[in-house]
Amino acid sequence: MKRATVMRKLVPVLLILLIPLVVAEAQNPFSWLEDSIKGLTEAAIELLDVLKSSALMIARALSGTLIALGLVLWGTDIFGYKGKRLIIAGLVMLFIVEMI
């Protein structure tokens, strides 16, 4: 009998002690911070994607310009050696950009 009365008194005390632990585990006090960091990370990744595509587009245009200018210089024999170097540089740049 004594054991049953001790258990009856002990169960409410244990429940009172365990309820705050369960509630604290269920509520994450830093969930707003996690959401903010996740949003910032996604925005940074999107910005980097836009910057990458812009840089690739500029590099393609620049490589085409180098090739065209090199052809003009080499074809007119104004600066034949520099024209060849511009053509080679444009082709190498175009190859690298297309590999990325």
Q: Which residues lie below 8 Å from residue 79, measured CB to CB, with a gap of 6+?
A: 73
Cα–chain center distance at 95 = 25
Amino acid at 89: A
Give the largest CA-CA distance in the chain.
113
Q: What is the pLDDT of residue 20?
A: 64
Q: What is the pLDDT of residue 81?
A: 87
Nearest to 82 by CA among 93, 70, 68, 94: 70
Percentage of the chain lying above the pLDDT 90 cut: 48
Reduced to 3 states (helix: H, G, I; strand: E, B; else coil), residue 77 is coil
Q: What is the mean pLDDT of the chain?
A: 82
Residue 83 to residue 74: CA distance in whole angstroms: 5
